[in-house]
Structure 1
Amino acid sequence: MDDAKIDVKQILNFEGFREARIVECEIIKLGANGDGLAVHRLHDLPEGSQERTNAIGSSRIEVLVVPFVVPGDKVKVKLYKAQTYYQLCDLVEIVEASPDRDDSLVNCQYFAKCSGCQFQMMPYDKQLLHKQKVIENAYKYFSQLPTDLVPAVDPCVASPLKYNYRTKLTPHFDVPRKKALTELPPIGFGMKGRSVVVDIEECSIGTPVINQGMKEQREIVKDKWASYKRGVTILLRENTSRAANDDVASESKACVTDPKQIITEFVNNYRFEFPAGSFFQNNNSILPLITDYVRNNLRLSAESTDGPKYLVDAYCGSGLFSITCSTGVESVIGVEISADSVRYAEINAKLNNVQNTKFIVGEAEKIFANSLTPANETSVILDPPRKGCDSVFLDQLITYLPKKIVYISCNVHSQ
């Protein structure tokens, strides 16, 4: 690592550091966050050249972080920000495309500007392989397990929809501090690597209803942009209505913008209600697969002879997993820090005629303050926020030692 270490203080004091360098490199792999990684060897630069002079510090190599690339791409990049062990870069040009790059797959006019999507130029099967590798590397480098105990990672399950799947978007616009707007500001999402908003008229991963809502909200902002004194984040949330839970034929959808309005989503004919501004999974198309996977891996089906009798759902939210996994167990205990979410979990249990659930308001470790079910007959679902579970809860969970744990994570590097 010392070969790549950059003296950032020296860079800041260097007369020519503001002159952005452009270099060519080959992308060797993707990092966990989806950006490409390349190694630029400074000893290959001509002695006395301006480029070598600008390559500050005692480092002999530079690790370059490049967005919107795939392994094997040969690219021209502009270095714009030095960190201790790497340089952040803008992609300037694809000099030679990797065999894994297919730009005909790109489905968005804002791709490579907007920070929302990274892999549209990659075939979907390659995207899934990358995500599988991220999980494998997380176990390999962070689990501290002996190599022979690192578990095999199954192939990633594909989303039924590759585009037009998101049921929630939050475009925004900024207003300069202590200044009035002099023109309509860009309304959309952040630019990759910059504190700048990219004006977005349509998002290719949003559902058709969400995109219609975006069009309508943009018109509202256009009509009164001069009156805004501060920036605004616009909520766009899809609401689904049915005459009955299983009556898909009667289904209709609308876009909701009021975060307090109660909306409805259906998952495998389960009905869930919650405020539009609260958290709920945003890809409804894959939720049946996810909830089925969790339930099957808990062995909670009625046919199971050795599965646990009881279920604990930590970080239960408005009851998604508590309710969809409630069949085949005697009781479910859900715990959630948000009292409002617990209220809707109770409402959702009643809406689905699920009578074996109990929901508790509090930190996840509060479940251990109650009379717990026998550990060898209990499964635990963990679905924490991005930061993961805290150490207090994990220590208590290890002491409790339930029969089965299913962990749902949006950040594999937390736990």
Structure 2
Amino acid sequence: MKVEIKKVGINGEGIGYIDHLPVFVPKAMIGEIVDIKITEKNKRYARGEVLKIVSKNKDRMQPKCHLQHVCGGCSLMHVRYPKQLEYKREILKQSLIKYAQVDPRRISNVLPSEDIFAYRNQFKMPCGIDEGYLESGMFLPNSNYFLGIKKCIIHDKGLEEIRREIMKVLNNAHMEAYSHKTKKGLRNLIVRGFDGKYQCTLVTGENEIGASLIQKLMQIKGMYSLWQSVHTTKKTTEVFGKKVVLLAGEKYLPLQLEDIQLQISPRSFFQLNTKQAIQLYRNIAAMIPAKCNLLVEAYSGIGGISMYLKDKAKEIIGIESIKDAVVNANQNAKKNGCEHVSFLCADAADKLIYLSKKRNIDVLVVDPPRSGLDDAMLDCILRSKIKNIVYVSCNPATLGKNLAVLQNRYRVERIQPIDMFPNTSHIESICLLVRK
């Protein structure tokens, strides 16, 4: 049946209507008329698959990756980049109106990424056997079918080169893919790199990585450190095992971010697009008023944002629940000579309740996971007297739901979207909230 696409969905799919029922159609664009096959239908919505594009959008293009239709990671690669930015603002706008009735005039245009391809500084890829060889790749959505990926064009070029070399060495050493029966083999390959230096983690079963294999891997150009994490748990979304052990090389991967030096451990979070991370930090800083007394950052990770804001407050306190990240963050503060910046290992809501009772917090910066702020955190903020909040979000839906609650006490001043992930439907945004 023919459907006209009227809207863009949160995952980048087109949305049309059949008898007032919304139909979600991946890879269809606004304004297109498409012949579709219904693949799923219930009382609230339906899903469809494009059979033929009857009327094509002028901004449609041929995806540069031949696996785009299979992988699903780059759901907007068939859309020209300027139009991708429009779609992302629309996705954000729809969520904020739906959940929090935010005035769309508060939402600025999306800041574009300097690089549209080869921007990603890290990958975490499952491993399996493909055409008789051990390969890094992906499992097809909702299946156990493994697909080896020879080349990913959104990965940094050096990252792709070192991935090929690592797989070559592992194949020559006859490393096997992980098996739940034997609890042996390579399960995931994780590599992160900046400025030609790469940190590699082999997530394996109960394997002992021999000295000869370690030596050969460390001889790969750009290999800065090699780690192993044993992970034998079934049915888990965790990529790492409980421990990560250094096999060779340096303990921390260095990153120069303007005038800040950061040291990053394998499990520490850092933005996947380095150039856009600087854009993000600059725009967070721009939303903070003239130098304040106390700034608190919740979900502070390795302290990158707090370090960048070092000149914005007389005192900065970061709160993070992951112990390794807190140790990492305090080392970064010391390395950068920031005596007025410190990090505490605690639950964000619990520690914020304590701090807000004892101290006057001028600015709170929050950069929560995709699930957003939990009820305890929202309740704590509403009961506090925090003057300004800078909310960094990677999920428009949870941002909208959180703003619906926070607007009881705070006014949404402005929202700046930033494109961290070109060719995908993901959109990062910074929201400034001022206490009423």
Q: What TM-score bracket applies, with the shorter chain setting the length?
A: 0.7 to 0.9
| Counterparts in 2 of 1:350 and 1:279: CA distance versus 1, 3 Å | same
Task: Please list the CA deviations of residues 265-310 of structure 1 after superposition, one character each: whole Å capped at 9, or x if unmatched.
Answer: 22213111121233211100111111111011112xxxx3xx5222
Correspondence for 2:359: 373
User: In the alignment, is residue 235 of structure 1 matched against residue 173 of structure 2?
Assistant: no
Q: Equivalent residue of 1:330, what SS?
A: strand
User: In the alignment, is residue 119 of structure 1 matched against residue 114 of structure 2?
Assistant: no
Identity %: 22
Q: Equivalent residue of 2:326, what SS?
A: helix
Aligned pair partner of 1:95 in 39, 42, 54: 54
Correspondence for 2:406: none
How far did residue 202 of structure 1 move?
Answer: 0.9
Q: Equivalent residue of 1:234, what SS?
A: strand
Q: TM-score with structure 1 length normalisation? A: 0.76
How far did residue 349 of structure 1 move?
Answer: 0.7
* 1:209-358 equivalence runs, <5 A: 209-220=158-169, 222-223=171-172, 224=174, 226=176, 228-230=178-180, 232-240=187-195, 254=223, 258=227, 260=244, 261-299=251-289, 304=290, 307-358=291-342
d(CA) in 1 for partners of 2:152 and 2:143? 19
Relative to its length, the structure with more strand (as a share) is 2
Give the gaps of 5 or more residues in structure 2: 181-185, 198-220, 229-243, 245-250, 403-436
Q: Equivalent residue of 1:90, what SS?
A: strand
d(CA) in 2 for partners of 1:184 and 1:78? 36
Residue 158 of structure 2 contacts residue 196 of structure 2 at CA under 8 Å; is this kept in 1?
no
User: In the alignment, is residue 199 of structure 1 matched against residue 148 of structure 2?
Assistant: yes
Q: Equivalent residue of 1:68, what SS?
A: coil
Q: TM-score with structure 2 length normalisation? A: 0.72
Correspondence for 1:80: 39
Task: Please list the CA deviations of residues 78-126 of structure 1 after superposition, one character each: whole Å capped at 9, or x if unmatched.
Answer: 33334552233333333331122122xx322212221110112212221
d(CA) in 2 for partners of 1:225 and 1:25? 50
Q: CA RMSD in A?
A: 2.7
Correspondence for 1:133: 90
Q: Equivalent residue of 2:167, what SS?
A: helix
d(CA) in 2 for partners of 1:93 and 1:193? 25
| Counterparts in 2 of 1:205 and 1:257: CA distance versus 1, 3 Å | farther
| Counterparts in 2 of 1:157 and 1:316: CA distance versus 1, 3 Å | same
* 1:44-193 equivalence runs, <5 A: 62-103=21-62, 106-143=63-100, 145=101, 152-173=106-127, 183-184=132-133, 187-191=136-140
User: In the alignment, is residue 382 of structure 1 matched against residue 395 of structure 2?
Assistant: no
Residue 317 of structure 1 contacts residue 345 of structure 1 at CA under 8 Å; is this kept in 2?
yes
How far did residue 334 of structure 1 move?
Answer: 0.6
Residue 134 of structure 2 contacts residue 176 of structure 2 at CA under 8 Å; is this kept in 1?
no
Aligned AA for 2:319? V
Higher relative contact order (CA 8 A, sep 6+): 2
d(CA) in 2 for partners of 1:257 and 1:68? 39
Aligned pair partner of 1:401 in 385, 395, 420: 385
- Compare CA radii of gyration and give the structure with the larger one: 1
Q: Equivalent residue of 1:158, what SS?
A: coil
Residue 71 of structure 1 contacts residue 100 of structure 1 at CA under 8 Å; is this kept in 2?
no
Task: Please list the CA deviations of residues 191-241 of structure 1 after superposition, one character each: whole Å capped at 9, or x if unmatched.
Answer: 456554433111111001111122123335545365642472211211447
Aligned AA for 1:172? P
Deviates more, 1:403-412 or 1:76-85: 76-85
Residue 210 of structure 1 contacts residue 255 of structure 1 at CA under 8 Å; is this kept in 2?
no
| Counterparts in 2 of 1:71 and 1:191: CA distance versus 1, 3 Å | farther
